[in-house]
Amino acid sequence: MPLPVDAAMPFALTGAHHMLRESVRELSERHIAPRAAGIDETEEYPEDIFQLLKAQDLLGVYLPEAYGGAGMGVLGACIAIEEIARVCSNSPLFLSVHLLATRPIEIAGSEAQKQRYLTGIAAGEMRASFSTTEAHAGTDVGNIRTRAVHEGGEWVINGQKTYCTGSPFADFIAVAAKTDPNAGIRGISLFIVPAGAPGFTIGRTERKMGMRGIPTCELFFENCRIPAENIIGEQDRGFMTAMLGFNQARPGIGARGVGLAQGCLDYAADYARDREAFGQPIAGFQAVQFILADMFMAIEAARLLVYRAAAMVDEGRFGKEEVHFISAAKCYASDIAMKAAVDGIQLLCGAGYMKDHPLERFMRDAKQLQIIEGTNQVQRSIIARNLLNL
């Protein structure tokens, strides 16, 4: 299928983007990198990192200035996420989780919701999470069973969710529930559920392979009552809003992949220069050089895909017609993150398998990126369906 003439949309990084990169890189290397291994080892929620990002006004980097943000859009968020992810995979979740949780409100929320919740996120006075997944319904969103009924001027929610990242620390969670149980995806609505809502409890914390510093939990709703005005957008239109939100947030997942992969390359290259074998640094061997060269090419390609997708989102181009570009960015960048981690470990040989070096942690963290916010198999299906006009 011929691509649109503007498919290879050029984008230009401004001086503000370069300044953002430099400042976040310096911040990450000085303050976040020394904490990364400890966060993973102890599964400690990095409150100090949240406060650091808050003090630097980075939490609202992507939000409009009208709501207290920096107005740098998803592209600005991706640059910041990438630089943090170079040294720590947990810490950029303070941006990427909020990016996903706030998209539905910015897309379809009322002005009152935007003023309260977007402003709260930008100021670091609120934290948020997003929940659609249920034990029997991950990708199959239309099969969720959590139910919301309008009753007495309130919404009453009953059901159970799983894999909700950051939920124990969230001030509110954007939750998908069925308002028409017989209508599939056309019967889903989105709601803002405050942390203290009666009937809402957070269940056990999952034991994860990677991304261990930000807890992922079950959610329980037992006659949970929230105000009527907490519905996001129109009733029964939540699926479309959620999908558009995913489209806007997926470049952020790609940015995490690019940053993680770059961190692997940086570490592997430094190791190759220092490690000697057969009388010379292993960097002098062609086999090692080819591994590093392949990593570099793939990361550069992934970065360009992510930046283009982010720029498209910022232009308002994130609907069905453009979604294959966004899916390509998320899918390719996360696949490259996993490959860079595996290849980096191979370059370090036995040392790479040891916790003394960060690459085994990077590998465990990279795997999550291939699964969350739509598995990479789903992304490939989206790409193919658009290319084939299905």
**What is the rounded distance in angstroms from the CA atom of residue 123 to the CA atom of residue 104?**
19
Characterize the bridge pairing of strands 147-151 and 128-131: unpaired
CA atoms within 13 A on the CB side of 187: 15
pLDDT of residue 4: 45
| Residue 291, H or E segment | helix 286-314
Q: What is the pLDDT of residues 261-302, one digit of tens each?
A: 999 999 999 999 999 999 999 999 999 999 999 999 999 999
Dihedral, 50, 370, 293, 306 alpha carbons, nearest 10: -70
**What is the rounded distance in angstroms from the CA atom of residue 210 to the CA atom of residue 36?**
12
> Of 134, 218, 360, 373, which is the active-site residue?
373
Token pair of 137 as six digits: 């319904």
Domains of the chain with bracketed CATH: 15-122 (1.10.540.10), 128-235 (2.40.110.10), 239-387 (1.20.140.10)
pLDDT of residue 315: 95
CA 224 to chain centre: 28
134 a catalytic residue: no
Q: What is the pLDDT of residues 354-382, one digit of tens each?
A: 999 999 999 999 999 999 999 999 999 99
Question: Are 261 and 302 in contact, with CB atoms under 8 Å apart?
Answer: yes
Contacts of 294 (CB under 8 A, 6+ apart): 343
pLDDT of residue 323: 96
* Average pLDDT taken over every residue of the chain: 95
pLDDT of residue 138: 81
Q: What is the pLDDT of residues 2-50, one digit of tens each?
A: 344 344 445 789 999 999 999 999 999 999 999 999 999 999 999 999 9
Give this prediction's pTM: 0.95
Mean pLDDT throughout 111-129? 98
**What is the rounded distance in angstroms from the CA atom of residue 315 to the CA atom of residue 259?**
23
